[in-house]
């Protein structure tokens, strides 16, 4: 059940930059804008998908929200509480309610600890249970994620990738969080095992009314699990819409290219695709104006795109996109002309991008 009356998580103008240092004295010579002015809300019970390619900033955004890395600026509100203003004790308390599941189920579990001890740790730290009560809770959690309770005495190396990811889920659930940030939780898994873990996450969400932020590069997995999807490119959200709208009518040319690039498992449906030229530019030196303009295929692209930073604006009800060439836009044609624009905005939706 999605409750839209008040957001569970509210992120405003989040920025995270990493300094680039050079020489023996570590002089700062530049900065990588990993997350550059990102704002969004997540409603209770909702799954917000975050997609994009490497270097897009999706993992950094996820970790900055938990303050696993300190944000450079911006505000993060969880149930109205300002996460950025919390001291160590407050942060520990709030992390009980916000958990994370990592991509790599091998390196995220301590090889020297038994599965039971790994899951128990959270219960002890947050004083939720101890002794026999904690043991019973561990067994219950293992069964809830579809593992046998006898597994509590075993070590991580005794499990397959899919089972380890279930252990990661059990650990996150142990403290009864409201929000779980899933950072590429299934991308290291085989297709058949991936489906098992996705179904598990969906079942748990339904039973416990969990809220997910689901970070992934696999667009078909995100479409399956998310209610709304944010597309990130070079540290910015370039499009944000319901899953249905985004996949049916992608408006930002980057989203269009991303969708058209997904290989379709149906030889009868082979289609033309938008092949982007070149690589993702370095986030240390992002292009001016619209960060996507050097690779953009929008027919109305012109000089204005390299001068004007496109606002993330509403193009249709609940559908935000950052493109001054997709109407409607608050950047008027006059303003675009003053910035060297020669082609007026026109709606563009290539067949190759539509699924």
Partner 1 sequence: MTDVKTTTEPLLSIRDLRTYFHMGSVTARSVDGVSFDVGAGETVGIVGESGCGKSVTALSILRLIQPPGRIEPGSVIAFEGKDLVTLGDEEIRNVRGNRISMIFQEPMSALNPVFTVGDQVAEVARIHAGVSRKEAWNRAVEALSLTGIPAPGDRAKQYPHQLSGGMRQRVLIAMALMMKPALVIADEPTTALDVTIQAQILDLLVGLQKQFGTSILMITHDLGVIAETTSRVIVMYAGEIVEQAAVDELFAKPHHPYTEGLMFAMPHIGRDQERLNVIPGTVPAPTAWPVGCRFRERCPYSWDLCEREHPPLYQIGAGHISRCHLAIEPERRNHPHPPLVVQEGAAA
Q: Which parts of this chain interact with partner 1 (CB under 8 A)?
A: 53-54, 143-147, 160-163, 166, 190-200, 202-204, 207, 217, 219-221, 223-224, 247, 257-268, 270, 273, 275-276, 278-280, 355
State which residue, 87 or 266, has the beta carbon closest to partner 1.
Answer: 266
- Cβ 134 to partner 1 shortest distance, Å: 20
Q: Report the first-to-last Cα separation within the chain, whole angstroms.
A: 27
Among the listed residues 241, 219, 213, 210, the one whose alpha carbon sits nearest the alpha carbon of residue 228: 241
- Nearest residue (CB) to partner 1, 24 versus 269: 269
Give the other-Cβ count within 10 Å of 329's Cβ.
Answer: 20
Residue with Cβ nearer partner 1 (106 or 193): 193
3-class DSSP state of 100: strand
Q: Name the minimum Å distance from CB 122 to partner 1.
A: 19
- What are the backbone dihedrals phi and psi of residue 256, each rounded to the nearest 5 degrees, phi first? -60, -45
CB nearer to partner 1: pick between 83 and 276: 276
The distance of closest approach from Cβ of residue 216 to partner 1 in the complex, given in angstroms and rounded to an integer, is 11
CB nearer partner 1, residue 10 or residue 243 = 243
Q: Which two tokens stand for residue 213?
A: 């932020």
| Closest residue by Cα to residue 258 from 222, 225, 288 | 222
Least spacing, CB of residue 59 vs partner 1, in Å: 13
C-alpha 122, offset from chain centre: 24
Crossing angle for the helix pair 161-173 and 131-144, to the nearest 10 degrees:
130
Which residue, 84 or 280, is less far from partner 1 as judged by CB? Answer: 280
Report the nearest approach of partner 1 to the CB of residue 67 (Å): 28
Q: Closest approach of Cβ 201 to partner 1, in Å? A: 10
Rounded CA separation 149/293 (Å): 54
């Amino acid at each position: 059940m999605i409750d839209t009356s008040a957001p569970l998580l509210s992120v405003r103008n989040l920025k995270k930059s990493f300094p680039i240092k050079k020489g023996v004295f570590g002089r700062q010579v530049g900065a990588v804008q990993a997350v550059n002015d990102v704002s969004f809300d997540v409603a209770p019970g909702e799954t917000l998908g975050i997609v994009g390619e490497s270097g897009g900033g999706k993992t950094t955004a996820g970790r900055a929200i938990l303050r696993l890395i300190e944000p450079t600026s911006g505000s993060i509100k969880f149930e109205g509480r300002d996460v950025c203003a919390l001291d160590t004790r407050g942060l520990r308390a709030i992390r009980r309610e916000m958990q994370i599941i990592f991509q790599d189920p091998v390196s995220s579990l301590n090889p020297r600890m038994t599965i039971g001890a790994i899951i128990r740790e959270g219960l002890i730290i947050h004083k939720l249970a101890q002794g026999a009560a904690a043991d019973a809770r561990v067994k219950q959690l293992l069964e809830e994620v579809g593992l046998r309770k006898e597994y509590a005495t075993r070590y991580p190396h005794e499990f397959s990738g899919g089972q380890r990811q279930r252990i990661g889920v059990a650990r996150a659930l142990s403290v009864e969080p409201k929000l779980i940030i899933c950072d590429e939780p299934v991308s290291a898994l085989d297709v058949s095992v991936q489906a098992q873990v996705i179904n598990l996450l969906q079942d748990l969400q339904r039973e416990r009314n969990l809220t997910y932020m689901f970070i992934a590069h696999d667009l078909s997995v995100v479409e399956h699990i998310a209610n709304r999807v944010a597309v990130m490119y070079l540290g910015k959200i370039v499009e944000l819409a319901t899953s249905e709208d985004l996949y049916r009518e992608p408006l930002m040319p980057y989203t269009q290219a991303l969708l058209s690039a997904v290989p379709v498992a149906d030889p009868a449906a082979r289609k033309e695709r938008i092949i982007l030229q070149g690589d993702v530019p370095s986030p240390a030196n992002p292009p001016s104006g619209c960060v996507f303009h050097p690779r953009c295929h929008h027919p109305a692209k012109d000089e204005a795109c390299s001068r004007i930073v496109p606002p993330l604006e509403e193009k249709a009800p609940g559908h935000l996109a950052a493109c001054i060439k997709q109407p409607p836009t608050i950047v008027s044609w006059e303003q675009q002309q003053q910035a060297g624009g020669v082609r007026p905005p026109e709606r563009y939706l290539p067949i190759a991008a539509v699924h």
